[in-house]
Amino acid sequence: MTSRPVVSVYSKTGASEVVDSVPLPAVFTAPIRDDIVQFVHSNMNKNRRQAHGVYHKAGMMHAAESWGTGRAVARIPRIGGSGTSRSGQGAFGNQCRKGRMFAPLKTYRRWHRKINTNQRRHAVAAAVAATAVTPLVLARGHRVLGAPELPLVVDSLNVDTTKALLTSLKNLGATEDLKKARESKRVRIGQGKMRNSRYALRKASAARSKVFNGLQAGMATSFDKAETEFQRIGNQIVSESEEEEDEQ
């Protein structure tokens, strides 16, 4: 007889009511490769950048000419004329006052990055596996000590109202993280506050469900949509984990 790690299934009426136990999905046993996660996350963020550049004549619109050799000064082009402090100052170079930047930005720069499909899958699997390690979740700032275990599996959370959802989460001891996210609402730093994103909130717990009908409706309005972030796991990873379970 083979043994495999299992996770308890709790009733939505309370954390002390264990109704069943199910095998832990294979994705939660994936190696936690923080180096792969960091690499994929960094490169995927680059794919959201918008191409921009500087004016092609910026820093080059000076009447300047090099003095040549023999004067014991650098051969950088210098502003001509006399009678002003600007006379004789270097121009054009990136080390000069009012000079152009080094390697001026162009719109045809390679802004985006291609990421190997297998690396993406490893990164998602590692990120999902890390959500089941309580010390890592706590280190990120989440308040999950009230939850009986991670991952927290519930038999059914098919609710239609936020009030019913919060009642169920309170029974499971999983509202402390939602409260932290709700109280973290603040005015966003920088110009983003003028761009239709005035407020910023911390992330709270992630929810995973095959059917999001009632659960999504219950979570859509609570705490200004800030307490829960839905994370849909890639179909490839889920199918691979289910295939591994079938083989075992």
Token match 């038999």: residue?
155
Minimum mean pLDDT among 16-20, 78-82, 87-91: which range? 16-20
Give the model's pLDDT for residue 241. 46
Distance CA 14, CA 3 (A): 28
Give the model's pLDDT for residue 246. 53
Amino acid making up residue 243: E
71: which 2 tokens?
Answer: 């004067």
Q: What are phi and psi of 95, to 5 degrees?
A: -90, 0
The torsion defined by the Cα of 93, 99, 101 and 104, in degrees rounded to 10, comes to: -90
How would you label 219-233 residue by residue, b for 16+ Cβ within 10 Å and e otherwise? beebbeebbbeeeeb
Give the model's pLDDT for residue 216. 62
Give the model's pLDDT for residue 161. 79
Please tell me the pTM assigned to this model.
Answer: 0.74
Return the beta strands (E) in the chain as ranges.
6-11, 14-23, 64-65, 78-79, 153-154, 186-187, 199-200, 205-207, 228-230
Return the beta strands (E) in 72-147 as ranges.
78-79
Distance CA 56, CA 22 (A): 63
95: pLDDT confidence band, cut at 50, 70 and 90? very high
Strands 6-11 and 78-79: unpaired
**Arithmetic mean of pLDDT, 107-136:** 94
| pLDDT tens, position by position, 200-244 | 988 887 777 665 556 666 665 553 343 333 344 444 444 444 455
Query: What are residue 206's DSSP bridge partners?
Result: 229
| pLDDT tens, position by position, 156-197 | 777 777 788 888 888 888 888 888 888 999 999 999 999 999
111: pLDDT confidence band, cut at 50, 70 and 90? very high
Amino acid making up residue 82: S
Q: Are 177 and 122 in contact (CB under 8 A)?
A: no
- Higher-confidence residue of 26 and 246: namely 26
Give the model's pLDDT for residue 156. 78
- Higher-confidence residue of 246 and 81: namely 81
Give the model's pLDDT for residue 212. 56
Minimum mean pLDDT among 5-9, 58-62, 206-210: which range? 206-210
- Higher-confidence residue of 159 and 20: namely 20
Give the model's pLDDT for residue 233. 40
Give the model's pLDDT for residue 219. 64
Give the model's pLDDT for residue 217. 61
If phi > 0 it is left, if psi is from -120 to 50 it is alpha, else beta; for residue 49 that is beta
Name the DSSP letter for residue 197: -
Distance CA 215, CA 209 (A): 8
Closest to 47 (Cα-Cα) out of 117, 115, 125, 123: 115
Q: Are 142 and 205 in contact (CB under 8 A)?
A: yes
Distance CA 41, CA 120 (A): 9
- Higher-confidence residue of 247 and 186: namely 186
Give the model's pLDDT for residue 181. 86
Distance CA 183, CA 141 (A): 14
Distance CA 148, CA 160 (A): 25
